[in-house]
């Protein structure tokens, strides 16, 4: 019986996984491409959700709400970028500052800590009560987003953004405005994150001031899982992005499974964080304990 319950819950988990996977693509842009750890996302995902909730409940078209939510996220990223470049604050701290600012801003946007957007009362694109349709819509969002990002990072401007993340000295020497690129990347990333927040709000039927807590960890987990799963064959950028979404879906499958096994859900955040910590440590451990090319060479010479 429980097995079929679990099986029945998988499509819903997949939908949530795609939403968080889209969020993780935002994290991928900063963490992997720009080489900046941006903690703004914990706040900007909620900003996206709050803006969407307020607009939809006041009768605004849901597509317009999604667009405005995305723009709100872009503004969050701009603020962090401003802190980081113009004010010279380290990226992590800049993100934390914006996150704290957004806590107040998000409360002001919603006027309360929680705002319901019941799918019965309002016209929304996706809802937990309509999983098959939601999955289709989300797949559409996923494909369009990946296509747009694949195109953008293939352009001159996108390539200069990748160069900024890969080697900042070289980028400057080649005439790339690295500060501007960092701001742009942070804005793009948080726009994507806020879009996912708006989608999440519709899907779960409410926006909540706490909905973004620990989002960065889920994002990182999705990026890491996605990389591990697609490492073998992911040379293509689009496949890598698809891998990130897949990472989000796998994360929610595991989440669902653990819940069904009866684990205390209060512990989930801790477990996610520990798993991410271990995965982040693996490359460091590998370098420190398992490879010592110099020694090997000396042996060969001797």
Partner 1 sequence: MLELKNITKTFFPGTVNEKVALNDVSITLNDGDFVTIIGGNGAGKSTMLNAIAGVWRPDCGQILIDGVDVTHLPEHKRAKYLGRVFQDPMMGTAKDMEIEENLALALRRGKRRGLRWRITRAEREQYRELLAGLDLGLETRMTAKVGLLSGGQRQAVTLLMATLKTPKLLLLDEHTAALDPKTAAKVLELTDQIIAEKKLTAMMVTHNMKDAIVHGNRLIMMHNGRIIFDVSGVEKKNLTVETLLEKFSQSSGEEFANDRALLN
**Residue 162 interacting with partner 1 (CB under 8 A):** yes
Across the chain, which distance is largest between two alpha carbons, in Å? 78
**Residue 236 interacting with partner 1 (CB under 8 A):** no
CB of 162 to partner 1, least distance (A): 6
- Checking 235-238 for CB contacts under 8 A at 24+ apart, the result is 237/149, 237/150, 237/153, 237/154, 238/146, 238/147, 238/150
Q: 62-81 vs 41-57: helix axis angle to the nearest 10?
A: 150
Q: How far apart are alpha carbons 67 and 117 in whole angstroms? A: 17
* 174-203 positions binding partner 1, by CB under 8 A: 174-178
Of positions 7, 157, 271, 282, contacts partner 1 by CB under 8 A: 157
CB of 23 to partner 1, least distance (A): 23
Q: How far apart are alpha carbons 256 and 290 in whole angstroms? A: 35
**Residue 148 interacting with partner 1 (CB under 8 A):** no
**Residue 147 interacting with partner 1 (CB under 8 A):** no
**Residue 167 interacting with partner 1 (CB under 8 A):** yes
Of positions 158, 205, 219, 247, contacts partner 1 by CB under 8 A: 158
CB of 226 to partner 1, least distance (A): 17
Coil, helix or strand for 222?
helix
Residue 58 vs 169, nearer CB to partner 1: 169
Q: How far apart are alpha carbons 87 and 179 in whole angstroms? A: 11
**Residue 159 interacting with partner 1 (CB under 8 A):** yes
Q: How far apart are alpha carbons 179 and 135 in whole angstroms? A: 38
CB of 81 to partner 1, least distance (A): 16
Q: List contacts with partner 1 (CB under 8 A).
A: 152, 154-160, 162-163, 165-167, 169-178
């Amino acid at each position: 019986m429980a097995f079929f319950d679990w099986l029945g819950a998988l499509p819903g988990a997949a939908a949530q996984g795609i939403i968080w996977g889209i969020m993780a693509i935002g994290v991928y842009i900063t963490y992997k491409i720009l080489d900046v750890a941006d903690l703004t996302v914990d706040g900007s995902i909620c900003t996206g959700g709050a803006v969407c909730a307020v607009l939809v409940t006041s009768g605004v078209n849901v597509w317009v709400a999604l667009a405005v939510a995305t723009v709100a996220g872009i503004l969050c990223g701009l603020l962090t970028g401003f802190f980081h470049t113009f004010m010279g604050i380290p990226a992590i701290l800049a993100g934390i500052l914006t996150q704290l600012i957004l806590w107040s801003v998000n409360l002001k946007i919603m006027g309360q800590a929680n705002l319901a957007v019941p799918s019965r009362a309002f016209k929304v694109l996706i809802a937990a009560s309509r999983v098959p349709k939601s999955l289709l819509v989300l797949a559409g969002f996923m494909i369009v987003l990946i296509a747009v990002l694949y195109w953008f990072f293939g352009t001159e401007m996108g390539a200069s953004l990748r160069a900024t993340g890969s080697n900042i000295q070289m980028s400057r020497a080649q005439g790339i405005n690295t500060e501007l690129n960092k701001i742009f990347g942070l804005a793009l990333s948080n726009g994507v994150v806020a879009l996912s927040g708006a989608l999440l709000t519709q899907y779960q039927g409410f926006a909540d001031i706490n909905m973004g807590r620990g989002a960065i960890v889920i994002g990182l987990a999705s990026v890491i899982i996605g990389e591990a799963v697609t490492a073998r064959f992911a040379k293509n950028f689009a496949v890598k992005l698809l891998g990130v979404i897949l990472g989000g879906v796998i994360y929610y499958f595991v989440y669902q499974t653990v819940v069904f096994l009866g684990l205390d859900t209060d512990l989930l955040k801790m477990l996610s964080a520990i798993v991410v910590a271990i995965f982040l440590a693996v490359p460091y451990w590998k370098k420190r304990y398992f490879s010592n090319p110099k020694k090997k060479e000396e042996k060969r010479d001797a």
